[in-house]
Chain A
Amino acid sequence: DAEITQSPRHKITETGRQVTLACHQTWNHNNMFWYRQDLGHGLRLIHYSYGVQDTNKGEVSDGYSVSRSNTEDLPLTLESAASSQTSVYFCASSATGSQPQHFGDGTRLSIL
């Protein structure tokens, strides 16, 4: 079955380090999204991509970057991790703009 997988599931790191979270989908979806979820803020969009070589900033993109070199993967990089980036991160994908997004299981990131 097609799926979307995130890795790692849990990560603890130190401030200032570079961190990369992986997202891989086997649905061949064009659209991929990264969210963070924090108590009191709900799901907030970080970056998104509508296809290979396309990336766009979401509402909370500062301190994050993505790249899309193929259809299946959209890695999220924290260039210099900050404690404010401690959160649960979800990756999602959809086939088209009107189709539902399907979510990965999430990555719980703690920055000490």
Chain B
Amino acid sequence: NAGVMQNPRHLVRRRGQEARLRCSPMKGHSHVYWYRQLPEEGLKFMVYLQKENIIDESGMPKERFSAEFPKEGPSILRIQQVVRGDSAAYFCASSPQRREKLFFGSGTQLSVL
């Protein structure tokens, strides 16, 4: 049973480009959470999704950021027109039920040049 899979592991983008981060939850998990860890800062919640639904996006920046978790396929965190301040580690976590123990992916390190 594979764990939570995130790809790419590292992503380099130039300012103004788009970044797409993918997360495949553990088998049987339909709850996905995205977190961001800025350099020298703690982890911050971004968004919580269930299949095809955004449940809580209170931690998402209002502009340029979006997330989806389609019926088929991985969850996608999309950042449009990236800026240097978006450089961070983005972690995805999944759980089998709401508010249960989380299983984390290895993260995607986004670097914006």
A and B together in one complex: no
Chain A interface residues toward B at CB < 8 A: none
